[in-house]
Amino acid sequence: MAVRTFLYGSLSILAILTLFPLLWVTSIAFMRSPEQSAGTPPLWPRHPTLHNIVNIIQREMLGHYFLNSLIVAVATTVLSTFVAGLAGYALAQVRFRGRRIISWIVLFAVLIPSQALVLPLFEMFREVHLINHYAALILPAAANPVSIVLIQAYMRGIPAEILDAARMDGAGEWQTFFYVVVPMMAPMLAALAVLTFVVSWNDFMWPMIAMQKASMQTLPVALASIDREHYQEIGLMAAGATVTILPMMAIFVASQRYYLRSVVAGSLAD
């Protein structure tokens, strides 16, 4: 009982600490300027207004950057999840020459910090004239070693007999992958897709360097320059932050039920 109370208590405190700044920023986004600029803004807008939101979308072309971010994040998510699914499955369940070495290389790649990649990546993409293209943001993220290692570990837990059964059933490699393997790793793929989307959406350093043309910038980068220009207009900045956070909130809420269940239950003799 005491343990329960303690658990719920500490989790609630954690939740409040995490949510409070988010909610406050959202609330500031709906305040009129006299309210926001009077020292510390209040917790709740006295006269709610959409002024800031409309302003940032119309005046600062936020919709344009939003679209850039969306294209990059969606493409990255789809491509990276697909690659991680294929690679993780192959490394875990398909016998081929060099599998161990490749596994080690992928595992090693997890250790490389993304900051260390910025310079070589920039050189490479300039060489092939892809700076200021969406590809500059999508391609480096397509093969994510962390995702591959996670899928590989997950797929090791799936009994090889199910895949053998598919082979005996006459399914080809792709049929087996799409109709048997993918559904079995769906919860893992969903979780990874959400994580990949969030990471891509929030990414700052590489997009700032790779997208030098203003029209190609992603939302966080664009927002940073808006903030620099209008640092007194706290309402405008809060509106930008709110617009940035909302899609991710929506994705989390919509997808959480997918990655919380186990699929393998019941296929095997206990």
Partner 1 sequence: MASLELSHVYKVIGGRQTVLHDINLIAHHGELISVVGPSGCGKSTLLRSIAGLEEITSGDIFIGGRRVNDLQPQQRRIAMVFQNHALYPHMTVYQNLAFGLRARRVARSVVETRVRRTAVRLGLEALLGRYPRELSGGQRQRTALGRAMLRDPEVFLLDEPLSSLDVPLRSEMRRELMALHKSLGMTMVYVTHDQSEALSLGERVVVLSAGKVQQVDTPQEIYGNPLNRFVAAFVGWPPMNFLSSEILGTSAMDLQNVEYGVRPERLMLQQHAADDLSVSGRIECIESLGGVWQIEIIHNGARLIARVPPDAALRQDEELRLWFGRADLYAFHKTTGARVKVQR
226: left (phi over 0), alpha (psi -120 to 50) or beta: alpha
Does 100 bind partner 1 (CB under 8 A)? Our answer is no
Among 172, 213, 228, 253, binds partner 1 (CB under 8 A): 172
Q: Nearest approach, Cβ of 238 to partner 1 (angstroms)?
A: 44
Output helix, strand, coil percentages for the chain, rounded to the nearest 5. 75, 0, 25
Q: At 239, is the secondary structure helix, strand, or coil?
A: helix
Among 6, 104, 108, 179, binds partner 1 (CB under 8 A): 179
Choose between 43 and 263: whose C-beta lies nearer to partner 1: 263
Query: Rounded to an integer, what distance in angstroms lies between the CA atom of residue 258 and that of residue 152?
Result: 19
Among 16, 104, 159, 212, binds partner 1 (CB under 8 A): 159
CA dihedral sign, ordered 42, 48, 50, 55: negative
Among 13, 67, 260, 263, binds partner 1 (CB under 8 A): 263
Does 264 bind partner 1 (CB under 8 A)? Our answer is yes
Choose between 70 and 182: whose C-beta lies nearer to partner 1: 182
Using the contact rule CB under 8 A, the part of the chain among 11-19, 41-49, 164-172, 247-255 near partner 1 is 164-172
Residue 206 CB contacts under 8 Å (≥ 6 apart), including other chains: 114, 117, 118, 121, 137, 140
How far, in whole angstroms, is CA 269 from its chain's centroid?
37
Site residues, partner 1 (CB under 8 A): 159, 161-162, 164-172, 175, 179-180, 183-184, 186, 263-270
